[in-house]
Amino acid sequence: MEIPVTVAKKAYKKPFTKRVYPYLFIMPFALLVLVFFILPAIATIIMSFTDLNASMKINFVGFENFKRIFSDYSMPQILWNTFVFAGITLAFSLFFGLFISIATQYFLKGSFSAVIYRVLWLIPSIIPAVVYVTFWKYLFDPTGEGWLNKIALFFQPDGDPISWFTKIAMAVVIIATIVSTTSGGMILLSAAISSIPEDLYKAAKVDGASEKSVITKIILPSLKWPLMYITISDLIGFVSSYFFILLLTNGGPMRDTTTLSLYAYQQAFNLKYYGYGAALSLVVVLISLILTLWLLRLFDFDEMIKPSRIED
């Protein structure tokens, strides 16, 4: 006698409590992102369309703040300062990070001197910013008590102390920023180089490859991902940063070291033009976005994320 099948299979349904757990875990972080990132960003966008100032009365003025940016007589010099500061700092920071990581992780790998050298470069990035800036102020002090002026006066006792922050203010700011930021890229690139299998080096040496070929044909192609990340993150950081410049020169002398981010800060918090400062901040974000998209295209990001052609 055949027994009819009357009980249909039911699809497994996860209990309600288990479905809620993931959302409960991410809810605190989502709230933090909402409160500290999304809401301030929305407030900045709204503020950029107002003439909010020290009186704290909000009047919507449409695109007047953005029109003011184009008519601001200081803007050409400020944009040039931003370009010079971000471009030169990025180039040298990347070069030194790459040079130190290859030198210590390939040529001096495992040696005590390599560890000491990397630690020395880490010191500027771990000491407090105020202490770090104080060191540079003493180093380039325009009086005879400054360290560089003491050296200069030792060789030329009849000379006058050099006013470094007047003659080469932008160079001082760039040098201080490079020394402080090189260690970040150095750490990432050193980790990437250490992950390259030693067998590749040995096989290349057996085939007669020179050190230059090992660096250009094995090491550098393996660093494309970290180099792209460091380039984009550092460039965005340099375009939007103003902290060291504020502490070292406050944008002076005149506006010789004023970048766009520092100018936005000065307009918003020194002169109390909050609406205009917000509009300038949005321009900084727009420039960072354009540069990021350009760099992604330059590094051929679409090709990098394609699946490997190697078949299983």
Phi and psi at residue 50, to the nearest 5°: -125, 170
Q: For position 275, what pLDDT does the model report?
A: 93
User: Whole-prediction pTM value?
Assistant: 0.86
60 φ, ψ to 5°?
-75, 130
Residue type, position 256, single letter = D
Is residue 185 within 8 Å of 162, Cβ to Cβ? no
Mean pLDDT of the chain: 87
Q: Angle, nearest 10°, between helix axes 224-240 and 75-102? A: 150
Q: What is the pLDDT of residues 120-155, one digit of tens each?
A: 888 888 888 888 888 888 888 888 888 888 888 888
Q: Give 224-259 pLDDT, tens digit per residue.
A: 889 999 999 999 999 988 888 998 899 888 889 999
Q: How many residues are listed for the chain in this entry?
A: 312
Comparing 8-12, 106-110, 114-118, 182-186, the range with the smallest average pLDDT is 8-12
Place of tokens 């660093």: 223
Q: CB within 8 A of 161, min separation 6: which ones?
A: 142, 143, 144, 146, 149, 152, 153
Distances (CA, A) of 97 to 112, 149, 180, 195, 234: 19, 29, 11, 17, 12
> Cα separation of 61 and 175, whole Å?
41
Judge whether residue 312 has pLDDT over 50. Answer: no
CATH number of 46-300: 1.10.3720.10
Phi-psi region of 250 (alpha: psi -120 to 50; beta: other; left: phi over 0): left
